[in-house]
Amino acid sequence: MNVFAVILWVLFSVGALTGVALVFFAVVHRIRDKRTPEERWADEHGDEHENPYATGARFVTGITFTGRPG
């Protein structure tokens, strides 16, 4: 086996082990997560406002149009 083949096998092995480790950690994290589906959805999406323009309205109220800087 030449050096190039050994390097490819090492890279493949490292990638495969990384994939297995990531799947393992994802499964363990999912099993240890005791939140309900509703709590998980709320954590991922946050508290959304009923009015989609609320954030923009709060931003615009801080702008003054006096024509003078500062």
Residue 63: phi and psi, rounded to 5, are -90, 130
User: How crowded is the C-beta side of 43, counted as CA atoms within 13 Å?
Assistant: 8
For the stretch 1-55, pLDDT in tens is 799 999 999 999 999 999 999 999 999 988 888 888 888 888 887 766 566 555 5
Domain residue extents for the chain: 18-61
Cα–Cα distance between 32 and 40 in angstroms, integer? 13
33 Cβ contact list (under 8 Å, min separation 6):
40
The reported pTM is 0.47
Distances (CA, A) of 45 to 4, 5, 66: 47, 47, 38
